[in-house]
Structures are given as C-alpha cells and as structure tokens.
C-alpha cells in the first residue's frame, strides 16, 4: 500500500479526476506555476496545462462565481480559495448563489462545484490567515461541508465532493499537509455523510474534526493510561452529518466531548452537543463538554496563539471532566 501525505492525497484526487474527466478543472490564485500557496497543486500545470490549471486574478467573488456558472453548464470545477479567511470575500456567491440556485429554480439547475480552502493555526500567520470558519457554512441549507483530517480521508472525500451534484465547501487544515497515511492503490471514494471511528472505546466519545482528531488521539492514549477508554469519532462530513454514528457511540459510552479548533461559542460542536442531548438524553451520565479555541481572533505571538487554540491537554481535561462527573 502506498503512503501519501495529506498534501499529496489532495493532489492525487484532483489529478485522477482530471485524467479521467474533461469536465473537471481547477482554478484559483497562484495554483499554476507556483503550485498553490500550500504546494498542493505542484506539478499539475505541467501535466494538465494552463487551461485546466487556471491561475486567476485575486478575485474571490469571480473565482467562485465563475465556478458556479461553469458548474451550472455541467462542468465540475474545483476552485481554490487560498485561505478560508478569504471565503468572506466570496460569501455572497457561496451563500446566495451556489447554495440557492437549485432551490430558487424549483429544482431545475444543479451547481456541482467544489470550493477547496484551507486554514488553521499553529504557525503564527496571525488573525487573517488562521481562523477556522466551517461553522458559517454548516448553517446554510443547500451547501455540503467537508473537513477531512487524514490523507486517505481527504483523497476519498475530495473525489466524492467533485462528483457530488451540489456545492461542497471542502476544508483542509494547513498543519495536516505533511502528515502521512497508507492509502489504497485504487482511489476508494468515501461517501459524504459518513463518519469514521478512529478508535473504539467504552467510557467517553470524543467527536473531533480536523487537527483536533489528531490531538484527540493523543489525549486518548493518555486517558488510556488513566484507565479511561475513549472512542474517537471524526464526522469528516459536517453537512450532511452522520448523526447515527455519533449518537450510537454516545449511547455506548454515555459521555461525550466535542472538539474542534474553531472557537467554542456557536461552533460546530454546539450542534453536535444539541443532537446528542436530544437523541441520547437518557444515556448521558455527564453534560457534553466542548473543546475549541478561546473567543478571540487568532493572535500573532506564538505563545498567545498556542494559548488560544486547543491541544491534546484540553481534550484530556474535558475527558476527565465527563468521567469525574459520576465518579469515573
């Protein structure tokens, strides 16, 4: 089985789709000669040429909007928004246009567009290059939202996103690009809306996304030493959400922690907590604990940045809090 980095896995999904299908093309800022600000599309210009690996002006509205128009004609564009902070510039096109065309037309049109973007803290880019904004998009009917945390997942989910007939906002995490995982020779698409259980456990379920999946796996190792068995569930697709897997897990463990890098308040975890308390109320032995960033913009100074965003230790504290509630 070959091993790919998260970065290579994204590139592999894009390249395979473009080899097989003339309707797939990519566009975005600095994605051609430069290979993207995160080097994800490196080498793709040489293979596919400048028509299909399209450098764009710094025009987020037009990049997304042109993707919408090409998608409505039956192409399957993948557009890159360099940092998720910059999705703000394209918000009108994503929320009012891409998400609503099908609905407003009474089902006449489809917008099979994939919007790749990345972000996250951990390298001190400051407040406008490190925020996690996935919660904004899961609030919008008509969009699908993916946040993959491993190379195998990012490859299989990106493929499914490209071939989904709806607009998918596809989040990658900057810190995850170098991580490696074995992947199958053949690209196995991963259906949207299907969670992955990374580790089975008996005492606490942690529902984690993005970088926090890896922090949670570290925390679970620590908890194990304390005699606490942790089940780690990564929803992978945030919209639609695999509620069934999450709820079944909580019914087994009777405790739940939600963990993401975005700020806690009104974060994706709030929705998970609401679902869990509603669907597994009688099974819960402790309140659902939430882990995420403190309610600030992301600061520059590395010590402040690291203070603001959550780490394995924060997840471990939350696990302990749920277990401590009824005496372990």
Partner 1 sequence: MAKVESRKRGGLSQDKLRGLYREMLLIRRFEEKVEERFRAGELSGFLHVAIGQEAVAVGVCQSMADGDVFASTHRAHAHALARGMHPNALMAELYGKTEGCSHGYGGSMHLYDVEIGFLGANAVVGGGLPAITGAALAFKFRKEPRVAVAFFGDGATNIGTFHESLNLAQLWGVPAVYVCENNHYAESTPASQQLPIKDLAKRAVAYGMHSITVDGQDVEEVLRAAGRALEYARSGKGPVFLLCETYRLVGHYVGDPQVYRAKEEVKELRETQDPLDRVRAKLDLADEDFEAIEREVDELVEASVEFAKAGTDPKPEDALKNIYA
Considering only residues 20, 51, 185, 282, which one is a binding residue for partner 1 as defined by CB under 8 A?
51
Q: Pick between residue 162 and residue 179 the one whose CB is nearest to partner 1.
A: 162
> By CB under 8 A, how many residues form the interface with partner 1?
41
Considering only residues 1, 2, 20, 108, which one is a binding residue for partner 1 as defined by CB under 8 A?
108
Alpha helices in the chain (DSSP H): 6-20, 44-52, 60-72, 91-92, 101-104, 134-137, 151-162, 211-225, 243-253, 268-279, 302-308, 312-324
Considering only residues 18, 72, 258, 272, which one is a binding residue for partner 1 as defined by CB under 8 A?
72
Site string for partner 1, 112-141 (x = CB under 8 A): x----------------------------x
Element (H, E) at 204: strand 204-208
> Measured from the CB of residue 33, what is the shortest distance to partner 1 in angstroms?
16
49 Cβ neighbours under 8 A, 6+ residues apart: none
Sheet with 230-234: list strands edge to edge.
196-199, 230-234, 204-208, 256-263, 289-293
DSSP state of 73: T
275, 276, 280, 285: CA torsion to nearest 10: -150
Is 20 an interacting residue with respect to partner 1 (CB under 8 A)?
Answer: no
Q: Are 230 and 204 within 8 A, CB to CB?
A: yes
Is 25 an interacting residue with respect to partner 1 (CB under 8 A)?
Answer: yes
> Measured from the CB of residue 241, what is the shortest distance to partner 1 in angstroms?
14
Considering only residues 106, 178, 227, 327, which one is a binding residue for partner 1 as defined by CB under 8 A?
106
Q: How far apart are CA 281 and CA 289, in angstroms?
A: 14
Phi, psi of 303 (to 5 degrees): -65, -35
* Stretch of residues binding partner 1 (CB under 8 A), selected from 12-20, 103-111, 209-217, 275-283: 103-111
Considering only residues 122, 142, 151, 235, which one is a binding residue for partner 1 as defined by CB under 8 A?
142
22 Cβ neighbours under 8 A, 6+ residues apart: none
Considering only residues 91, 109, 187, 197, which one is a binding residue for partner 1 as defined by CB under 8 A?
109
Q: Pick between residue 109 and residue 286 the one whose CB is nearest to partner 1.
A: 109
* Stretch of residues binding partner 1 (CB under 8 A), selected from 35-43, 97-105, 148-156, 172-180: 97-105
Q: Where does this chain bind partner 1 (CB under 8 A)?
A: 22, 25, 51, 56-57, 59, 61-62, 64-75, 77, 92-93, 96-97, 101-110, 112, 141-142, 144, 165-166
């Amino acid at each position: 089985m070959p091993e790919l980095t998260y970065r290579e896995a994204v590139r592999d999904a894009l390249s395979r789709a473009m080899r097989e299908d003339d309707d797939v093309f990519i566009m975005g800022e600095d994605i051609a000669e430069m290979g993207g600000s995160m080097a994800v599309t490196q080498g793709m210009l040489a293979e596919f040429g400048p028509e299909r690996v399209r450098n764009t002006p710094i025009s987020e509205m037009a990049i997304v909007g042109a993707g919408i128009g090409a998608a409505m004609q039956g192409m399957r564009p993948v557009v890159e928004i360099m940092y998720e902070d910059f999705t703000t510039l394209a918000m009108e096109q994503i929320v009012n246009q891409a998400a609503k065309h099908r609905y407003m037309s009474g089902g006449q049109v489809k917008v099979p567009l994939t919007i790749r973007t990345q972000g996250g803290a951990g390298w001190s880019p400051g407040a406008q290059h490190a925020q996690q904004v996935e919660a904004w998009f899961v609030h919008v009917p008509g969009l699908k939202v993916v946040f993959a945390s491993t190379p195998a997942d990012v490859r299989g989910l990106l493929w499914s996103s490209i071939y989904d007939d709806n607009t998918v906002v596809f989040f990658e995490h900057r810190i995850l690009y170098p991580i490696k995982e074995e992947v199958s020779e053949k690209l196995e698409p991963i259906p949207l809306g299907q969670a992955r259980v990374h580790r089975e456990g008996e005492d606490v379920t942690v529902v984690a996304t993005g970088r926090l999946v890896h922090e949670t796996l570290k925390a679970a190792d620590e908890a194990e030493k304390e005699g606490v068995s942790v089940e780690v569930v990564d929803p992978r697709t945030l919209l639609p959400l695999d509620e069934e897997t999450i709820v079944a897990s909580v019914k087994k463990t009777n405790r739940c922690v939600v963990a993401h890098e975005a700020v806690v308040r009104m974060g994706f975890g709030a929705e998970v907590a609401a679902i869990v308390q509603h669907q597994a109320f009688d099974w819960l032995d402790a309140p659902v604990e939430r882990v995420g960033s403190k309610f600030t913009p992301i600061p520059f100074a590395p010590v402040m940045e690291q203070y603001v965003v959550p780490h394995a230790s924060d997840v471990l504290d939350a696990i302990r809090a749920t277990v401590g509630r009824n005496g372990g």
